[in-house]
Amino acid sequence: MKLLLLSNSTNAGEPYLFWAKREIQAFLEKEPAIALFIPYAAITFSYDEYEAKVKNIFSAFGRHVTSIHRAEDPVRAVEDAEIIVIGGGNTWHLVRKMHDLGLMDPIRRKVLRGTPYISWSAGANVACPTLMTTNDMPIIDPHGFDTLNLIPFQINPHYMDVHPVGFGGETREVRIKEFIEINPDVYVVGLRESTLLKLVNGKLQLVGSRSVRIFKKGETPKNLQVTDDLSFLLAQK
Amino acid sequence: MKLLLLSNSTNAGEPYLFWAKREIQAFLEKEPAIALFIPYAAITFSYDEYEAKVKNIFSAFGRHVTSIHRAEDPVRAVEDAEIIVIGGGNTWHLVRKMHDLGLMDPIRRKVLRGTPYISWSAGANVACPTLMTTNDMPIIDPHGFDTLNLIPFQINPHYMDVHPVGFGGETREVRIKEFIEINPDVYVVGLRESTLLKLVNGKLQLVGSRSVRIFKKGETPKNLQVTDDLSFLLAQK
């Protein structure tokens, strides 16, 4: 399996996907030319616009991107895909469309058979067993919380340590502690911005300039660095 | 119908429910003595602890609080309630328990018949048609997004304008704009901290030191003050 799971698309003040370009390019080095893009996390802009934006980035790597919303038979498009790319936006809407179009199983089968998978934000969330560690607003019933289950742990994208001064709502850490209270067997990886997880040949690596924060019920949350062994996350269950 | 819907329980540095005490007291002035408390939004602390905390506050108003988790027959406890109080915490867990225990319809019927309803944060969210404008992490499948539908619009509690500097995730305003894109007929009220909505005798009022921010598809978001007419929110649908 070959996964590249990015916390976020864009850092403040930078072009789209800029921070991850080198990693995406290296990840795709020996891969084929055609990428299928899943744009369904887009809400306030069109799938055409989203495709154009991503096409523009991937063309710099010599890859051609086509969005699945153009396919007459989306399941067939997945089955024929050489690379699968899932963009960020609203996780709930993305999952709803993936369920309604019957894409979960086909994508999972393809990626388990070796088709490279690149995603960011909501797209990183759907690589997990469920969408339960999303930060997004539930603007639509997803018709089921289950997602691709490519990895046995949960990612919380855009993980942040700061909390607005004087804000009376829950911090991100409190929210994740609520999750592990109800889901005690599941690891949560707080994936800070400008970081990504790469899984190739069964080896899981953190890439980026920041640590990840690991949560599990009964364990003290801890930060792990790029040099730390993350294999325990795959051994789960 | 008599509703008191608070954005938040506590302002930074203040005791629990402190900012709203005077309003709660005035709201309860002519009401009976016994309040039924729904504690199911609590995750990282016990229902007993939550009951004790709320009991302590309400005793200052001469009201006795009992939590529904002590009831052998929770539906019966709702039917017998003189006042209903729903506390904040995790909206998803609260809704799941309310669905599983079959409390939605009984509470709705009671409150429509005039039983006073006081709630904050997650408790304000469940007064809406659905939980869709919660900020909370979906730590559990709620078994349905529908909630009490006491008001025809959605509240976003803890509404905040600030956005952490450099954070690449969605702002609150962007999240709500995604909601109205998918749900174009529904008003969303961004309820800032230290504010509450009071609905008594068909009259909806904003109380507090800040404005509310109103969102609807096709309309420019706007701030409304305590002196503004909010009746259009009830006319919806």
CB contact under 8 A, B43 and A181: yes
User: What's the confidence (pLDDT) of residue A138?
Assistant: 98
Q: With a cut of 70, which residues of chain A have pLDDT below it?
A: 236-237
- In angstroms, the separation between the Cα of residue A42 and the nearest Cα of chain B is 9
A84 contacts A118 by C-beta, under 8 angstroms: yes
| B122, closest residue in chain A (CA to CA) | A169
| A169, closest residue in chain B (CA to CA) | B158
Terminal-to-terminal C-alpha distance of chain A = 18
CB contact under 8 A, A168 and B183: no
In 3D space, the residue among B124, B93, B113 whose CA is nearest the CA of residue B4 turns out to be B124
Residue A198 belongs to what H/E stretch?
strand A195-200
Pairing outcome for strands B222-224 and A34-38: unpaired
Catalytic residue among B7, B9, B119, B121: B121
The rounded radius of gyration (Å) of the Cα atoms in chain A is 17
- Residue B199 domain-assigned (yes or no): yes
- Give chain A positions within 8 Å (CB) of B136: 170, 175, 178
CB contact under 8 A, A44 and B12: no
Starting at the edge strand found earlier in the chain, the sheet holding B195-200 runs B64-67, B34-38, B83-86, B117-120, B2-6, B195-200, B203-208
CB atoms within 10 A of CB B74: 20
Domain region containing A140: 2-155+191-206+228-235
- Give chain A positions within 8 Å (CB) of B193: 166-168
Give chain A's contact residues with B (Cβ, < 8 Å). 8-12, 43-44, 90, 93, 121, 131-141, 145, 157-158, 160, 162, 164-170, 174-179, 181-183, 193
- Residue B6 domain-assigned (yes or no): yes
**pLDDT level of residue B236 (50, 70, 90 thresholds):** low
- Residue B45 domain-assigned (yes or no): yes
Q: How do residues B115-172 score in pLDDT, each as one tens digit? A: 999 999 999 999 999 999 999 999 999 999 999 999 999 999 999 988 777 777 788 9
- Residue A219 domain-assigned (yes or no): no
Q: DSSP string spanning B207-225?
A: EESS-EEEE-TTS--EEE-
pTM score over 0.90: yes
Catalytic residue among B146, B158, B194, B228: B158
Q: What is the SS3 assignment for B87? A: coil
List the Cα angle B226/B232/B236 in 5-degree steps.
Answer: 140
- Residue A184 domain-assigned (yes or no): no
A23 contacts A51 by C-beta, under 8 angstroms: no
In 3D space, the residue among A63, A20, A53 whose CA is nearest the CA of residue A198 turns out to be A20
- Residue B165 domain-assigned (yes or no): no
Q: How do residues B76-126 score in pLDDT, each as one tens digit? A: 999 999 999 999 999 999 999 999 999 999 999 999 999 999 999 999 999
B53 contacts B47 by C-beta, under 8 angstroms: no
CB contact under 8 A, B137 and A165: no
- Residue B181 domain-assigned (yes or no): no
- The total of structural domains in chain A comes to 1
Rounded distance between C-alpha atoms, residue A146 and residue A126, angstroms = 8
* Mean per-residue pLDDT of chain B: 96
A102 contacts A69 by C-beta, under 8 angstroms: no
Rounded distance between C-alpha atoms, residue B159 and residue B82, angstroms = 30
- Residue A18 domain-assigned (yes or no): yes
Which CATH number belongs to the domain containing residue B149 in this structure?
3.40.50.880
Which among B139, B193, B195 is the top mutation candidate for probing chain A, defined by the most A β-carbons within 10 Å of its own β-carbon? B139
CB atoms within 10 A of CB A228: 15
- Give chain A positions within 8 Å (CB) of B164: 160, 162, 164
In 3D space, the residue among A106, A105, A93, A103 whose CA is nearest the CA of residue A142 turns out to be A93
Structure tokens at A80: 């024929």
| A134, closest residue in chain B (CA to CA) | B137
A39 contacts A31 by C-beta, under 8 angstroms: no
Q: How do residues B173-212 score in pLDDT, each as one tens digit? A: 999 999 999 999 999 999 999 999 999 999 999 999 999 9
| A121, closest residue in chain B (CA to CA) | B169
